[in-house]
Structure 1
């Protein structure tokens, strides 16, 4: 299995976090550590580019949900982009799609994140 690769870009009003590789129990800690280091403000709007994530298990999902909850609690937002078929099925089965916006492209997710109302 290829290693998880993470990168982020701070744009005005949003951080785009690009994830490459499988998100599972073997790299959960790596993802959590990366998110703690790359986020500077808990009220940020985040876009996760998942276009290069072919597989995600419940560990990866848990990290995304924890991040979503933290952002929501602090007035931020999380948007997902480019979700591949297997992770999309996981989001559908678990009901995540009812709570976290999913977009076809990173550009669509950025636009939505910047135009959405901040949570209170």
Structure 2
């Protein structure tokens, strides 16, 4: 049986830029099991400067499930021995997921990218 209206997740786009002392990883779309690959690649230690200082700009993330939570926690574990990870600008629906599972108690979260970079 074919379904014409089968759900297709919004593709995830990830763009990395470097500021004076941090890498900003801007993410747009849905973070789930099928789309997380580009974010995982962008947070690879080999792709980041030393020490790794990373802000994930989440203002254009429209959905995140447990796969996204796992990506964030793995990145935090990998980056924090010598650097840091911060989240910025998550929409209310995404921030609710982050708060429900307690990620905001582990990874610092900021309302804007400017706030995260200035912290």
TM-score by length of 1: 0.85
Matches within 5 A, 1:76-115: 76-112=83-119
- Tell which has more relative contact order, 1 or 2 (C-alpha 8 A, sep 6+): 1
Asked if the contact 1:16/1:49 (under 8 Å) is kept, the reply is yes
More helix by share: 1
Of structures 1 and 2, the larger Rg is shown by 2
Runs of 5+ consecutive residues of structure 2 not aligned to the other structure: 1-8
* Runs of 4+ with deviation above 4 angstroms: none
CA-CA distance at 1:33 after TM superposition: 2.0
Q: Deviations over 1:71-114 (max 9, x none)?
A: 112x21111110111211111111111111111110100011xx
Q: What's the counterpart of residue 5 of structure 1? A: 13
State the distance in 1 between where 2:39 and 2:103 align.
19
TM-score by length of 2: 0.85
State the distance in 2 between where 1:40 and 1:102 align.
21
Runs of 5+ consecutive residues of structure 1 not aligned to the other structure: 113-120
Q: Look up the SS of the partner of 1:92 in the other structure.
A: helix
